[in-house]
Amino acid sequence: MTFSLTAFLEEAGVGRKVVHLQPKEDFFSQGDSADSIFYLRSGRAKLTVLSPEGKEATVALLSSGDFIGEESLASVGALHMATATAIVACTALKIAREEMIRVMHEEHSLSDLYLKFLLARSMRTQADLVDQLFNSSEKRLARILLLMAEFSESREPAPLPPITQETLAEMIGTTRSRVSFFMNRFRKLGLIDYNGRIWVHKSLINVILHDQFTEHPAESLEAGAPHER
């Protein structure tokens, strides 16, 4: 029987089942046994980590086509290093560790897909680190908004999934008040819109490519917050 990668990732079968999650429902929690990997077919999710002191941080946003919980393939008895939570309603395929490994060994189309995902994830993590080290918090916010918008060929504004300013602040390493300050400025400049949710214009990329909209010490003082990168 000919293997179909599409059918494998969309249909339930041996070692696989389709799961539906509502917003704020967890795929798994940090510290849970990592015995399955999820393939996100539709929806958006986030990965958060909790420090021993109880501080939570959002470390990644996930969209359709992503795998969630890849640490389950690393070794038997592995634990999930983060909590994966649905941002909007999600449909995913839950694949048992043993079944995923078996099919990856037998079918190159799946192993190729998974390798491309891992490379993309690695490149994104590296880009996030460079962004955190060298860019201002305003540029980091603009980059996150553009990544979340997932623009198609259309030039029309793209909507963001529901997300709070607190979560955005966690992701770029700043305060909620600074995010609010930048979001208001982006809106005044016509780079984003609010209409029950956030709509991002492609012109927001000018914040990343050019310096005319980036934060300056004087503006930070006016906003009542210390200047930060």
Report which of residues 20 and 209 the model is more confident about: 20
Judge whether residue 152 has pLDDT over 70: no
Alpha helices by DSSP H, the chain: 5-10, 97-106, 108-134, 137-149, 165-172, 176-188, 206-209, 217-222
Cα separation, 208 vs 213, in Å, equals: 9
Q: What is the pLDDT of residues 82-118, one digit of tens each?
A: 999 999 899 999 999 999 999 999 999 999 999 999 9
Confidence at 213, pLDDT banded by 50, 70, 90: low
- Percent pLDDT > 90 in the chain is 56
CATH number assigned to the domain covering 135-222:
1.10.10.10
Greatest distance between any 2 Cα atoms in the chain: 68
Judge whether residue 146 has pLDDT over 70: yes
- Percent pLDDT > 70 in the chain is 89
Superfamily of domain 5-131: Jelly Rolls (2.60.120.10)
Q: Which two tokens stand for residue 167?
A: 């979560």
Q: What is the pLDDT of residues 167-184, one digit of tens each?
A: 889 888 899 999 999 999
Judge whether residue 59 has pLDDT over 80: yes
Confidence at 147, pLDDT banded by 50, 70, 90: confident
Structural domain boundaries in the chain: 5-131, 135-222
Q: What is the mean pLDDT of the chain?
A: 87
CA distances from 155 to 55, 63, 93, 152, 207 (A): 39, 21, 32, 8, 17
